[in-house]
């Protein structure tokens, strides 16, 4: 016989808590005496219940004010649930698990006790769910210019939120999303929206798109998502920005590059020089572009000679490999002059334009 639990995080993302579903019906709400009492203003007095029959486990929303959700879809009436499903009571998230082990690092078993439950989900979690369901994101675009011709070469797409009760900043949105395990969903939505707006603009040039670092923990999902992006926008020039250090093994990095090449998607190594520059990967799995990190290029014209020499070395090395070099964060005439002296291919920074919406009337 299966033992069922609701599992979630409390306070810190490092502490996992399990609530055993010991008796049926298992009722959830603010009212004292229920199977699971959640002291949160977003929870109704008797919010939802879980029942069991021969078919399995069922969740029923009991006409709550803020809803019950399974895998981020609203429950209307009665819905069967399975181990691994994500269940939200309003903005409080749990994962349903069966036959859960009760031992492990940073884990504790509890039948009740709200101090041990995640009633204090990050502010804005409910709004973020709405943002994801209603596609409430947009994109701005920062130009990347050709140093020699001073012409526009490409745009980098940068996601922004447009939920009226949330910040538009991607940093703020991803902080909430990470606490809910939704950072990859948010990243994928921003990419699709950015590419859709770019396609509407009619511009025929490369569009650089970013990924969330956690996406490299599941490279196959990322590759499938990028291949789907290509299928949806067959005529767009797409460049995937990724940090080569996020891929632990060279073989996987080569696999990512091969799959993207098959999908006619170019690769840019982002933030190169921000840490330990992996020159072996640059040589053995060369990208189409390498972006020199802002921290490396900041005030490079007055930087210590050792840093200037490092930039020269990276630029020369990439040039020998026929890799286009992009200098990020070029904001001053002095920084631009240094890039001229080194004949860096492409430049990006406030000196050439801030991230702005695209004008759909503009044609290439």
Per residue in 321-347, pLDDT (tens digit) is 999 999 999 999 999 999 999 999 999
The pLDDT of residue 81: 93
- Pair (89, 144) in one structural domain: no
Q: Can you give the CATH number for the domain in which 78 is found?
A: 2.60.200.20
Our count of domains for the chain comes to 2
DSSP alpha helix (H) spans, the chain:
125-133, 170-180, 183-201, 219-232, 250-262, 279-284, 294-297, 305-320, 333-342
Q: Domain range holding 281?
A: 125-348
Closest CA to 160 of 186, 137, 184: 137
- Pair (144, 96) in one structural domain: no
Angle, helices 183-201 vs 125-133, to 10°: value is 40
- Position 165 in a domain: yes
Alpha carbons 111 and 49: distance in angstroms, whole number:
16
DSSP β-bridge partners for residue 146: 346
Q: Which two tokens stand for residue 211?
A: 């990924």
Top-confidence residue, 104 or 255:
255
Helix (H, G, I), strand (E, B) or coil at 81: strand
pTM tops 0.85:
no
Strand bridging mode 48-53 / 26-29:
antiparallel
Could you give the C-alpha distances from 78 to 3, 19, 23, 81, 158, in angstroms and in order?
A: 21, 21, 18, 10, 40
Q: Is the confidence at residue 14, as pLDDT, over 70? A: no
Q: CA angle at residue 117 from 114 to 119, to 5 degrees? A: 85
Give the model confidence (pLDDT) of 278-325 as tens digits.
677 788 899 999 999 888 899 999 999 999 999 999 999 999 999 999
- Pair (145, 46) in one structural domain: no
Q: Can you give the CATH number for the domain in which 148 is found?
A: 3.20.20.450
């Amino acid at each position: 016989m299966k033992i069922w639990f609701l599992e979630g995080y409390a306070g810190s993302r490092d502490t996992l808590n399990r609530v055993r579903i010991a008796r049926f019906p298992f009722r959830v709400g603010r009212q004292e005496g229920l199977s699971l009492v959640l002291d949160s203003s977003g929870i109704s007095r008797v919010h939802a219940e879980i029942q069991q029959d021969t078919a399995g486990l069922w969740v029923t929303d009991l006409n709550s004010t803020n809803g019950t959700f399974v895998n981020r879809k609203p429950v209307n009436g009665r819905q069967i649930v399975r181990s691994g499903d994500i269940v939200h009571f309003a903005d409080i998230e749990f994962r349903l698990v069966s036959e859960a082990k009760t031992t492990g690092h940073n884990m504790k078993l509890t039948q009740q006790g709200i101090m041990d439950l995640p009633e204090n989900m990050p502010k804005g979690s409910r709004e973020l769910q709405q943002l994801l369901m209603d596609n409430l994101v947009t994109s701005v675009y920062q130009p990347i210019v050709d140093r020699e011709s001073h012409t526009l070469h490409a745009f980098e797409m940068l996601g922004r939120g447009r939920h009226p009760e949330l910040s538009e900043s991607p940093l703020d949105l991803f902080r909430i999303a990470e606490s809910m395990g939704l950072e990859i969903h948010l990243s994928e939505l921003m990419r699709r929206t950015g590419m859709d707006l770019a396609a509407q603009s009619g511009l025929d040039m490369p569009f650089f798109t970013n990924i969330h670092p956690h996406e490299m923990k599941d490279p196959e999902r990322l590759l499938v998502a990028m291949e789907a992006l290509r299928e949806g926008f067959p005529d767009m020039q797409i460049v995937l920005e990724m940090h080569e250090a996020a891929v632990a093994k060279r073989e996987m990095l080569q696999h990512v590059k091969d799959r993207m090449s098959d999908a006619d998607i170019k690769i840019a190594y982002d933030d190169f020089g921000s840490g330990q520059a992996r020159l072996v990967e640059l040589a053995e799995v060369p990208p189409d572009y390498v972006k020199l990190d802002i921290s490396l290029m900041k005030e490079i014209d007055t930087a210590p000679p050792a840093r200037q020499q490092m930039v020269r070395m990276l630029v020369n090395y990439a040039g020998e490999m026929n890799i286009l070099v992009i200098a990020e964060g070029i904001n001053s005439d002095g920084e631009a002059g240094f890039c001229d002296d080194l004949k860096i291919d492409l430049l990006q920074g406030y000196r050439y334009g801030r991230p702005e919406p695209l004008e759909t009337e503009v044609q290439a």
